[in-house]
Structure 1
Amino acid sequence: MQLADERIELVPFKDSDFEFFQKIITCPQMMEHVYDPLTYDEAKSSFEGRLPPWKFESDNWRSFIITEIINGDKLGYISLRIVNHEAKIAEVGFMIKASAQGKGLGSKALKLMKQYAFDTLMLNKLVAFCSVHNVGSYSLLEKEDFSRESCLKQNTLMNNQYRDDYAYSLCNPAL
């Protein structure tokens, strides 16, 4: 399976990606609108649950490193997990490192993930959730045709404060 365009490719997680993943998921600035930064042990456990092999029947995340083709730089990661196997619905999530944000790379990665979800996995629907304060994430979702379905009040607890999230969805246009 090749998930790539002219600029980036999505490569399934491998053991050597842990350091990159850990830098993102334990960084307070990167995690500001997501959830409390993980400890090293929590990051290790989360990472190990994302390593291949993955099956459609799995409940864990299928994660890919977003890699720039020209120089091999790791730009972030994007993940998908089936949340309703019967209805073929999956949640998608992404993290783009700060130096790669605002360059259209997240959009490219989300386009590739949509293609994988709808054309390869034959999913019916993708859903995504993000903080109402995470302008970058919800702008990206809206750019990629996700529809804002609701505002989930006090949906996430971060730093001992409840935060509101937006819920987004995108149905498979071929179904």
Structure 2
Amino acid sequence: MQLTGKRIQLSPLDHSDKDLFIELSMSAQMMEHVYTPCTYDEAKAAFVAKAQPWNETSDSWFTLGITELATAEKLGSIGVKIVNHEAKIGEVGFMMKPSAQGQGFASEALSLLKEYAFAELKLNKLTAICSVNNLGSYKLLEKLGFAREGCLRQNTLINNELVDDYLYGLCL
């Protein structure tokens, strides 16, 4: 399964995505608003978990690598996890390497994933959680129609500090 846009392609994680996934998961800069940076072994284990075969009844993340079409460069990853199968609600998450941020790649990737989630997975709602300090992520969510539904106080532990998160939702 692949999703192709104007400048990028999304495809299930494979070995070609491993190095960038591990690098981003271990990066203090990248994880500043996400979670405490992983050790190499933790990042490797996370990659293995997210690269497992997935189907619509899975309780795990369906993670896709983001590749620029013109250069075949790996840019990051994006995924959806069905958090409530009965109500058909999925959570989305994404990570873009710093050099790819601010160029519209994440917007294109999230647009492709939204379309897939609603049209193919038949989800009724998508949610996203991001740190109140992660301006880039929440501005992207808002740009693509997600509504801020609340603030989760002291919701995520990052580097031994509890941080507040915004909760976003987008209904079909």
**TM-score tier after normalising by the smaller chain length:** over 0.9
Equivalences for 1:1-175 in 2 at 5 Å? 1-172=1-172
Alpha-carbon deviations, 1:122-175, whole Å to 9, x = none? 111100000000000000000000000001000011121110000001011xxx
TM-score (norm 1): 0.96
C-alpha distance 158-52 of structure 1, shift in aligned 2 (>3 A): closer
Provide, for residues 2-22 of structure 1, a one-character-per-residue CA deviation record: whole Å limited to 9, x for no partner: 311111110110123211100
Secondary structure of 1:30 counterpart: helix
Where 2:129 maps in the other structure, the secondary structure is strand
Q: TM-score, normalised by structure 2?
A: 0.97
Contact 2:132-2:165 within 8 A present in 1 as well: yes
Q: What is the Cα-based RMSD across aligned positions, in Å?
A: 0.9
Q: C-alpha separation between the residues in 2 aligned to 1:54 and 1:159?
A: 31
Deviates more, 1:105-114 or 1:153-162: 153-162
CA distance in 2, matches of 1:87, 1:21: 31
Distance 2:89 2:140 in 1: 20
Tell me the amino acid that sits aligned with residue 152 of structure 2.
L
**1:24 alignment partner AA:** L
Give distance in 2, aligned partners of 1:167 and 1:34: 14
The CA deviation at 1:76 is 0.9
Unpaired runs of at least 5, structure 1: none
Query: 2-side partners of 1:85 and 1:165: how far apart?
Result: 24
Displacement of 1:78 after TM fit?
A: 0.2
- Tell me the distance in 2 between the aligned counterparts of 1:28 and 1:111: 27
Identity of aligned residues (%): 57
